[in-house]
Amino acid sequence: MNVPEPLFRAVSLFLDAPLSPETWQVLLKFIPFVLFLEMPVYIMIILGVLKHCLERMYQLPWRSDYYPSVSCLVTCYSEGDAVKHTIRSLARQIYPGRIQIIPIVDGAALNGETFRAAKSMESAVARLSNRSLQVVPKWQRGGRVSALNTGMNFADGEIVMALDGDTSFDNDMVERATRHFEDRSVGCVSGCLRVRNARSGLVTRLQAIEYFLSIQAAKTGLSALGVVNNISGAFGVFRRSVLDLIGGWDAGTAEDLDLTLRVKNYFGRYDGFRIIFDPEAMGFTDVPDTFRDFFKQRLRWDGDLSFLYFRKHWRSFSPKLVGWKNFLALLWTGLLFQVVMPLLIVCYTAYLFVAYPLSFAVWITVLVYLFYLAVTAVMFLLFVLLLSERPKEDLATMPWIVLSPLFAFACRVYGAFATLWELLGRGHRDTNMAPWWVTKKSKF
């Protein structure tokens, strides 16, 4: 396929006179303008990661005798025997303080296998010092929020962890996560998540790369700048007094981002109040292993963003509530980057193929793919060098990076659909996170 003449002219101008106004006038016709929304975020993350690494270099390897009691709320639904692995990884933590493990089996009447699996661990946990296991059956299913709030009635720890029943943890996770609460300004800690079933297939390998870049790397950078975007629902750590202050988890869906925004609403009132992310507090979770299940999950995740930003938490976009720094981060990394940009990408792609000859549109698409491939590869290698605690495992996924730009594009297109589905059809009500009779009672 021959290079289209307009594109050839643009490249020639750039090589001959890269700083001339004519060069940039021509180039800007072909550069997707959405890059101007993305690149500042990538640069901000890289700078944040570098800041984190410099701070760690000069941090003394010292730990005080602060070991608060910890209550682990483990939400279970249909994990079966897999919940044993989660309980075992919590009971065998290298942590001298008390750990109370509370698996809440939602819909236990129908999930007897999960309930029995959790109960079977009682004797093994009882033999361990400073560990306790209390399995709580919720016979009527009420959803994840209902399970977490039920578990709070049994929790007596100073620190409360909200965890998923299909997530296991490194044996120093509790020690890593709780050390931050010695600083009274820290209200919440978001733990790091990796993909446990990364080798199950193509979609899990691509998600492993995505989790490394968007959670371990991106949240490290955002945390270093004081603008953590979300406390993961599968791995969130909270000071009990903060949960009491905001009234626990709220009904409906997207309970993790909902809770994060409600906590941030106190930032403007309490100077110095912080949420931080710890890349060393490590958890491993199972992700969807088929493309069908993956896109079903993302329909809920991406639709919930629009639900929270436009319907439930539009008042949170206020510097008086969240502070100027988090206000700008909510606008840029939240609203623009996660909600608006997928719509712009779909519109740009459609315009490209409608307004220009097919050969030209294909060439531009190839160039955009190569650009994203280069950016993804460079960022991946940089973050493996600076952050990875398992560099060999991460580098083994490098061959799959060639598919990452295509995977990301498919996610963006689907994200645009999820946003429209929420705005036009209130898609957040169609969720497997809570039964319909629970979401129906929510005022949103």
Residues 129 and 245 in one domain: yes
Give the model confidence (pLDDT) of 371-407 as tens digits: 899 999 999 999 999 999 999 999 999 999 999 999 9
Give the model confidence (pLDDT) of 321-376 as tens digits: 999 999 999 999 888 888 888 998 898 889 888 988 888 788 888 888 988 999 99
Residues 2 and 115 in one domain: no
DSSP state of 288: -
Task: Break the chain down into helix, strand, coil percent, rounded to 5.
Answer: 60, 15, 30
Residues 118 and 15 in one domain: no
pLDDT above 80 for 71: yes
pTM for the whole structure: 0.89
Whether residue 156 lies inside any domain: the answer is yes
State the burial class of residue 268 (Cβ atoms within 10 Å of its Cβ: 0-12, 13-18, 19+): middle
pLDDT above 70 for 21: no
Domain residue limits at 276: 70-291
**What's the chain's Rg over C-alpha atoms?**
23
**CA proximity to 421, closest of 269, 245, 294, 300:** 300
Which tokens belong to 283? 């958890």
Residues 7 and 156 in one domain: no
Residue 283 parent element (H or E): strand 274-285
The whole-number pLDDT of residue 435 equals: 65
The whole-number pLDDT of residue 27 equals: 58
pLDDT (mean) for 207-213: 96
Are 397 and 198 a contacting pair, CB within 8 Å? yes
The pLDDT-based confidence of 109 (bands split at 50, 70, 90) is: confident
Residues 149 and 4 in one domain: no
Write the CB contacts of 135 (distance below 8 Å, at least 6 apart in sequence).
Answer: 102, 103, 105, 115, 118, 119, 122
Whether residue 216 lies inside any domain: the answer is yes
Amino acid at 311: R
Write the CB contacts of 136 (distance below 8 Å, at least 6 apart in sequence).
Answer: 102, 103, 104, 105, 150, 151, 154
Torsion of CA 240, 243, 245, 247, to 10 degrees: -140
pLDDT (mean) for 91-103: 96
Instruction: Quote the CA–CA distance of 202 and 9 in Å, as a whole number.
Output: 39
**CA proximity to 346, closest of 425, 415, 422:** 415
Are 114 and 80 a contacting pair, CB within 8 Å? yes
The whole-number pLDDT of residue 102 equals: 97
Residues 182 and 117 in one domain: yes
Whether residue 59 lies inside any domain: the answer is no
The last residue of a domain, from among 256, 271, 291: 291
Whether residue 249 lies inside any domain: the answer is yes
- Angle formed at CA 423 by CA 421 and CA 424, multiple of 5 degrees: 65
The whole-number pLDDT of residue 19 equals: 60
Whether residue 64 lies inside any domain: the answer is no
Instruction: Quote the CA–CA distance of 182 and 96 in Å, as a whole number.
Output: 16
State the burial class of residue 18 (Cβ atoms within 10 Å of its Cβ: 0-12, 13-18, 19+): exposed
Instruction: Quote the CA–CA distance of 410 and 46 in Å, as a whole number.
Output: 24
Residue 256: CATH number of its domain: 3.90.550.10
Percent of the chain clearing pLDDT 70 (strictly above): 88
Helix extents (H) in 212-318: 218-224, 240-246, 255-264, 291-306
Q: Provide the number of structural domains found in the chain.
A: 2
Give the model confidence (pLDDT) of 24-56 as tens digits: 555 555 566 667 778 889 999 999 999 999 998
Residues 160 and 265 in one domain: yes
Whether residue 202 lies inside any domain: the answer is yes
Residues 186 and 127 in one domain: yes
Residues 9 and 150 in one domain: no
Are 95 and 173 a contacting pair, CB within 8 Å? no
Residues 152 and 263 in one domain: yes
Instruction: Quote the CA–CA distance of 339 and 277 in Å, as a whole number.
Output: 23
Residues 22 and 80 in one domain: no
Q: How many helices (H) and strands (E) does the chain have?
A: 19, 9
The last residue of a domain, from among 257, 275, 291: 291
Instruction: Quote the CA–CA distance of 280 and 190 in Å, as a whole number.
Output: 11
Write the CB contacts of 405 (distance below 8 Å, at least 6 apart in sequence).
Answer: 369, 372, 373, 376
Which tokens belong to 259? 């809770």
pLDDT (mean) for 162-185: 94
**CA proximity to 276, closest of 228, 213, 331:** 228
Whether residue 187 lies inside any domain: the answer is yes
Whether residue 154 lies inside any domain: the answer is yes
Write the CB contacts of 438 (distance below 8 Å, at least 6 apart in sequence).
Answer: 142, 143, 145, 146, 251
The last residue of a domain, from among 291, 326, 348: 291
- Max CA separation in the chain (angstroms): 76
Average pLDDT, the chain: 88
Give the model confidence (pLDDT) of 251-268 as tens digits: 766 788 999 999 999 998
The whole-number pLDDT of residue 9 equals: 59
Amino acid at 146: S
- The pairing of beta strand 186-195 with beta strand 274-285: parallel
Amino acid at 412: R
Residues 165 and 273 in one domain: yes
DSSP state of 429: G
